[in-house]
Every structure is written in C-alpha cells, then in structure tokens.
C-alpha cells in the first residue's frame, strides 16, 4: 500500500476512487457486514495527502442476494432474465433490490462519511445499462402513460393506432415492448426508462446526503451511451457533473481519422468532443472525468496503448474544455475478471513503466501550471444542438441504413445514425478551427453564441422551434441540418412542408428525400460530398450556396442560406462528408486566430483570474512550428514565446500577454 500511494503521490495524484462494486466484500452474507478493511486504505491515502471518493457498491449485486431473490434480475425481454455473472444484471427499481441496497449504502457511508480523506461519494456506477422489462416496470409504464395522456383514446390518436388495429380500449390491452413496432410507443418507453434511472440515482444521492457533510459532493459517474440514461436529466439530481469518457488513441487520434463516434471515438476532435459532451450535462459548470484511458480500453482483444505524448494531449484538451479533475481507470491492470485486459497505469507486473512516466509528466505539468488552469471557461463560437429524444427515435427508426448492408437492398437500420451525424458535424467544425459548445435542445434559450448548428434535430417541440426562430431573428446564424424539425416531440412527422415551421425563415422547403447508394459530389461555393441521404431542397427565397452534381438530384439545393430578421438561417439538405463539413465550418464564420489546420489545433479559454489561455496541439508525428497570432507566454515556463515548437503528439499551453 505504501508503494502504491508513494507512486501515486510522486506522479502528482491528488484524488482516488474506492469501494465501488465490492458489495460481497462489504456484506459477505445477508446482513453480516465487514466494514473495516477499507480503513487502512483511507488512512494511507490521507497520510499521502490524497483525497478519496467513496463509491457505493450497488453496481454489482452479491451472489447470495441473487440466489435469495432471483426476481430482482432485470428482464432484457419480458420473462427473460439477464443471467447472473457480470454486473448490472439488476432491475434497480425493484423494491427488494432497493431494500438491500439501502441497507448496505447506509452501513458503508455511515462508517466512512466522517473520514478526513473522504471528499465525496460516487453512487452506483454508469447506471442505466439495461432496459428492464420486468412486470412491475411494465405496470409502471402503463401508469406513467396515463399521467401523460388523459386516457387510452388520447393514446390511440397521438400514436395513430388505427393502423394495424392497434387501438386500445383499456390500458391493460397495451402490448409489451418486446414486439412493439410503433415508434411513438418506443420513444415513450425510452423516456420512461430514463426517468427510472434518474429516479434511482436521485434516491441514492439523497440517501448518501443524509450522511455527507456539505462539502462532500455526491454524484455518479455517467456513461452517456447507456441505453437507459438521459444524462442531462440525471445531471440534475447529483451535486456535480462527472462522466466516464474514453477516446481512441495512436493514429486514430489524428486529424484524418475517420473511425467515427463508436467506442472509442476517433479523430483529433475526440477528446474535445467527449469533454464538451460532458460539459453539456450542466451548461456553464466544470466537470470531473471519472474515467478515461490509462493503457488500453475495451475488451481483451482491443489494446491500443497511446503514443508518447497522447496522455498529455488528451488531459490538456479536457482541461481546456472545463474538466476540473481527471481520473484514470484504473491504477493497475487486474489479474482476473472480465476486465483483465482493461489496462491500468501499472501493468500486470505492477512495475511503473512508460504509461506511469507519461502520466507522471502530466502530473508535474499540472502542478506547475497551478492556478493558471483553474476556473477555466472554454471559448465557444458555435453551439451544436444535441437531442436525446432524437437519438432514441433514430435508434428505433433511423433515416440511414446499416453501413455494412448492401445499400441497394432494404437491409437493416443504422441504429447509430444520430451520433454518426452529430459527430460528423462536430468533426468538420472542429477541423475548421471552431470551438464548440454542445447544448441539449432543452437548454436552448438566451446566451447563445453567434452560430447555432442543429445537425439533425428531428424531434423538436414547438417551443424549441420558436426559440430557434427568435435566435435567428435576433441576429444569430441558425444552421439546420438534414431531418431537423421533421417531427413533433412525440415523434410524429409534422404536417407542414419541411423544415416544419421554419421553411419560411429558411426560404427553402422539401417534401421528399432519398437515401444514396454512394456519395454524390457537392459543388458550388462549398465542395465535398453528400452522404447518406439528400433532401429535395427547393430554394424559395434563399440563396443556393451549393448543389449536387447529378442528373436527378442536381435540381435541388444542397445548402441554402437566407437573411432572416437581424440574423440568418442556413439549411443543409444532406449529411456532409468530413470535407464538406469542414468547408461548411470555414464558411460559417472565421473560427480561430491561430494558424490551425491539419494536425494543429488551438483552443482558447479564460481562466478563473480572467486571463486568456490557449491550448495548442499537434496531433501527429511530424513536428510543427506555430507562430502565435498575439503576444503569449508559456504557462509552464512563464517565458514569452513567438513561435511554438510542437514535437510529435505535443501540446503547449500559453497565456495571452500584453505586448
């Protein structure tokens, strides 16, 4: 223990996380608690000046409880229990689970809340991993529906249940989600499931707060990709925002990486994206990264330890975007368990090596930078609107086909279409030098930046649409991407010409769209390729910025723009490839005073002292010399610099100075 804590301290660690997922160690038999084993760990942490976040153990349920109460297993389909043998097999809304969970939480937290090392509590871990279909969950769903619709007649009308004889005469005639084919039903089911998860975390948080002091934060670590999570809603019931955010490494962290958003996200914009995605949970607040890449991430067959320098690059990127703590998962690679190749900072041999040295260098830099990188408020010239309901709707009924399928045949759906489109836009804007504020559609309102992009805001409420209209009318530049505004908040296609309700402001409309067998060239003021689909966009007052080179699709506009009130509405009727998305980014607005492009990026921020900072990266092996566009000094050395020398996979942090 001394060796471990000594190594941590030497590397600059100031915070660790303990105690989660070991319920069977805390309570080896029903009602018999063994709580003392952690005390020496906390004592040693405290002695090394390392603070501790204590986890509740509910992520993984002990065998004895599953044996005694098999009914608490989540049913992945009605009547089909998730088999025991991993973790998160549980229906966390089940009263029996809640009773046992409450007892162990109270026991552990009561025992250690007063320990001086404990600065906070993490309740559960990455909640929302499964959509339980258990009987009481479905019963709750029916009741939930009746709180939202006055009666089944209203459901019949809202969901258009005449078709295929789905009309209900009584809520107990509602079919199970297992065979459901109605998109509005599915969306309601997803909303309900997310609410269950929020309720669960809210319940644990409140429970722990009975013991926590006011300066001990209570939170969970969010995985925004979990199926039963609405991370924005979840963020409202915890003290501070914390998320687990992994990223691609090696060449996949380069500016030409096109691996997309799937785990782990690729491209030089990946660490910025995952940070901005976390920041969006509670806009304007800083956040913790509770897990990120130590050595390898993922299953035993997927090992890609970062290149030298990439740990620094990623950490400074996250800090630049508002991270106030970065934790690695995990300290050392484990010698058993499913995660035995999810690589820690120490390898299986426990010997500090390349990874430890890389992390220790980062630790030294952060200590050196000190207050200069505290209280950071990231720059944001563009807001990118994110819509969780659209993600859910597109998981059920996406507008794109499985990329692995033959595009000439019906094939299967691309359930990742929404994330794919959003990530493409983020990548293009980022490559164009923009700094992006991700914003949940429900957070649209005042204080928006000069440009707001809604990449595929398929589901939008009337209020959201009007907010966007007013934003443009008031001087903003609103950019709508394909499928935006098509449906109302429960997923019904609207009856207006598209983009529904803003076709007038856009000065363009469409009534049909086509998927593409292959990308099609886009020509005009912007170039690149149209991918996935093309809408039959007809300018009706707008200027045409770009079109298609095609005997049929050529009649339609790819990009239109129109002044609207004091602002502007631009519509993009296809999914841009990375080239076109980057070109769009450059066309929208000047993005960055630095000579960015290719491997070089620059991200600005203001620190707590009101100073202007820039984080300048080189995402490649080839060194670059970057001429600073204003007087700056190196944050780590304090020395003024005119030309930043960036080595392979390097990052420099500079502060603007007065000439």
The single residue among 36, 169, 215, 642 that binds a copy of itself, judged by CB under 8 A, is 169
Kindly tell me the sign of the dihedral angle through the C-alpha atoms of 194, 198, 204, 207: negative
Convert residues 404-443 into a mask of x (bound to a copy of itself by CB under 8 A) and - (unbound).
--x-xxxxxxx--x--------------------------
The single residue among 98, 190, 247, 304 that binds a copy of itself, judged by CB under 8 A, is 304
Q: Is 643 in the site for a copy of itself (CB under 8 A)?
A: no
Q: Is 354 in the site for a copy of itself (CB under 8 A)?
A: yes
The single residue among 236, 337, 625, 637 that binds a copy of itself, judged by CB under 8 A, is 337
Convert 314-339 to b/e letters by CB count within 10 Å (16 or more is b). Answer: bbbbbbbbbbbbbbbbbbbbeeeeeb
The single residue among 1, 6, 116, 303 that binds a copy of itself, judged by CB under 8 A, is 303
Phi/psi of residue 123, nearest 5 degrees = -95, 130
Size of the site for a copy of itself (CB under 8 A): 124
Whose structure tokens read 């492009």? 597
The single residue among 198, 216, 278, 333 that binds a copy of itself, judged by CB under 8 A, is 333
Minimum separation from the CB atom of position 359 to a copy of itself (A): 13
The single residue among 299, 357, 590, 593 that binds a copy of itself, judged by CB under 8 A, is 299
Interface of this chain with a copy of itself, residues 20 to 39, rule: CB under 8 A: 21-25, 28-29
Question: Which residues, in sequence order, are bridge partners of residue 453?
Answer: 384, 479
CA separation for the pair 13, 529 (Å, rounded): 46
- Cβ neighbors of 615 (< 8 A, separation 6 or more) are 316, 317, 319, 320, 602, 603, 604, 605, 651, 652, 653
Interface of this chain with a copy of itself, residues 437 to 496, rule: CB under 8 A: 492-496
Q: Is 4 in the site for a copy of itself (CB under 8 A)?
A: no
Convert residues 254-293 into a mask of x (bound to a copy of itself by CB under 8 A) and - (unbound).
---x-x--xxx-x---------------------------
Minimum separation from the CB atom of position 586 to a copy of itself (A): 27
Interface of this chain with a copy of itself, residues 519 to 548, rule: CB under 8 A: 533, 536
Residue 35, Cβ density class (10 Å: 0-12 exposed, 13-18 middle, ≥19 buried): middle
CA angle 323, 234, 80 (to 5 degrees): 125
The stretch near a copy of itself (CB under 8 A) out of 194-202, 353-361, 559-567, 609-617 is 353-361
Element of type H or E holding 426: helix 417-431
Interface of this chain with a copy of itself, residues 46 to 105, rule: CB under 8 A: 57, 59-64, 66-67, 78, 82-87, 89
Helices and strands, number each (H, E), in the chain? 17, 28
Q: List Cβ<8 Å contacts ≥24 apart for 396-404.
A: 396/183, 396/186, 396/187, 397/183, 399/458, 399/482, 399/483, 399/513, 399/515, 399/532, 399/533, 400/515, 400/532, 400/533, 400/575, 401/515
What secondary structure letter does DSSP report for 462?
A: H
Convert residues 203-242 into a mask of x (bound to a copy of itself by CB under 8 A) and - (unbound).
----------------------------------------
Q: Specify the residue, 198 or 249, whose C-beta has the smaller distance to a copy of itself.
A: 249
Minimum separation from the CB atom of position 372 to a copy of itself (A): 31
Q: Strands 382-386 and 436-440: what pairing? A: parallel
Q: Is 335 in the site for a copy of itself (CB under 8 A)?
A: yes
Q: Is 19 in the site for a copy of itself (CB under 8 A)?
A: no
Minimum separation from the CB atom of position 620 to a copy of itself (A): 10
The single residue among 302, 364, 590, 638 that binds a copy of itself, judged by CB under 8 A, is 302
**3-state SS track over 45-107:** HHHCCCEEEEECCCCCCCHHHHHHCHHHECEEECCEECCCCCCCCECCCCHHHHHHHHHHHHH
Q: Specify the residue, 517 or 639, whose C-beta has the smaller distance to a copy of itself.
A: 517
The single residue among 316, 513, 594, 615 that binds a copy of itself, judged by CB under 8 A, is 513
Minimum separation from the CB atom of position 91 to a copy of itself (A): 15
Cα of first residue to Cα of last residue in the chain, in angstroms, is: 51
Minimum separation from the CB atom of position 420 to a copy of itself (A): 12
What tokens does 605 get?
């921020």
The single residue among 1, 6, 213, 340 that binds a copy of itself, judged by CB under 8 A, is 340
What tokens does 364 get?
């030294």
Whose structure tokens read 């009727």? 573
What tokens does 199 get?
């309720």
What tokens does 225 get?
């990709």
Q: Specify the residue, 274 or 372, whose C-beta has the smaller distance to a copy of itself.
A: 274
């Amino acid at each position: 223990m001394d060796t471990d804590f000594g190594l941590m301290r030497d590397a600059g660690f100031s915070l660790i996380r303990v105690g989660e997922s070991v319920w069977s160690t805390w309570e080896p038999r029903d009602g018999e608690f063994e709580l003392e084993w952690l005390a020496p760990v906390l004592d040693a942490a405290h002695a090394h000046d390392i603070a501790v976040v204590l986890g509740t153990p509910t992520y993984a349920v002990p065998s004895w409880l599953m044996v005694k109460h098999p009914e608490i297993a989540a049913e992945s389909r009605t009547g089909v229990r998730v088999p025991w043998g991993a973790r998160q097999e549980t229906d966390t809304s089940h009263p029996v689970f809640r009773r046992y969970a409450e007892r162990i939480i109270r026991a552990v937290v009561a025992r250690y809340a007063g320990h001086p090392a404990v600065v906070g509590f993490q309740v559960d871990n990455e909640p929302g991993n499964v959509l339980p279909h258990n009987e009481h969950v479905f019963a709750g769903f029916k009741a939930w529906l009746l709180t939202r619709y006055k009666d089944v007649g209203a459901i019949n009308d809202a969901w258009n249940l005449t078709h295929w004889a789905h009309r209900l005469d009584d809520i107990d005639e509602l079919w199970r989600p297992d065979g459901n084919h109605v998109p509005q039903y599915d969306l309601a089911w997803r909303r309900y499931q997310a609410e269950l998860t929020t309720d669960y975390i809210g319940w644990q948080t409140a429970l722990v707060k009975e013991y926590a002091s006011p300066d001990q934060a209570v939170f969970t670590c969010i995985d925004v990709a979990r199926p039963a999570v609405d991370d924005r809603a979840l963020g409202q019931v915890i003290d501070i925002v914390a998320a687990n955010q992994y990223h691609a490494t090696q060449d996949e962290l380069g500016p030409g990486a096109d691996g997309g958003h799937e785990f782990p996200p690729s491209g030089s914009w990946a660490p910025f994206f995952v940070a901005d995605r976390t920041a969006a949970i509670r806009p304007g607040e800083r956040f913790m990264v509770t897990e990120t890449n130590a050595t390898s991430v993922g299953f035993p067959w997927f090992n890609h330890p970062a290149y030298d320098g990439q740990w620094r690059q990623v950490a400074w990127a996250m800090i630049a975007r508002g991270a106030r703590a970065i934790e690695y998962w995990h300290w050392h690679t484990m010698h058993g368990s499913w995660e035995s190749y999810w690589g820690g900072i120490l390898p299986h041999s426990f010997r500090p090596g390349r990874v430890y040295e890389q992390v220790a260098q980062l630790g030294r830099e952060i200590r050196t930078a000190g207050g200069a990188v505290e209280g950071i408020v990231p720059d944001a010239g563009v807001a990118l609107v994110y819509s969780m309901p659209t993600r859910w709707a597109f998981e059920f009924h996406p507008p794109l086909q499985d990329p692995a399928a033959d595009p000439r045949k019906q094939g299967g759906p691309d359930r990742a279409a929404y994330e794919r489109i959003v990530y493409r836009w983020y990548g293009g804007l980022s490559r164009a030098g923009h700094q992006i504020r991700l914003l949940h559609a429900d957070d649209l309102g005042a204080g928006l930046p000069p440009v707001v992009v809604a990449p595929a805001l398929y589901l939008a409420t009337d209020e959201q649409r009007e907010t966007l209209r007013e934003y443009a009318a008031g001087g903003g530049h609103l950019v709508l991407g394909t499928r935006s505004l098509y449906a109302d908040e429960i997923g019904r296609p609207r009856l207006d010409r598209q983009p529904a309700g803003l076709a007038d402001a856009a000065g363009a409309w469409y009534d049909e769209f086509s998927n593409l067998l292959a990308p099609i060239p886009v020509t005009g003021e912007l170039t690149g390729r149209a991918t996935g689909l093309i809408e039959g966009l007809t300018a009706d007052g707008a200027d045409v910025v770009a079109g298609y080179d095609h005997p049929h699709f050529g009649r339609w506009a790819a990009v239109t723009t129109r002044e609207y009130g004091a602002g502007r509405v631009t519509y993009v009727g296809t999914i841009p490839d990375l080239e076109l998305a980057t070109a769009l980014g450059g066309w929208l607005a000047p993005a960055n005073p630095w000579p960015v492009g290719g491997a070089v990026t620059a991200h600005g921020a203001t620190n707590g002292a009101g100073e202007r900072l820039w984080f300048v990266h080189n995402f490649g092996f080839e060194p670059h010399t970057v001429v600073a566009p204003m007087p700056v000094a190196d944050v780590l050395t304090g020395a003024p610099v005119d030309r930043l020398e960036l080595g392979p996979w390097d990052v420099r942090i500079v502060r603007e100075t007065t000439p």
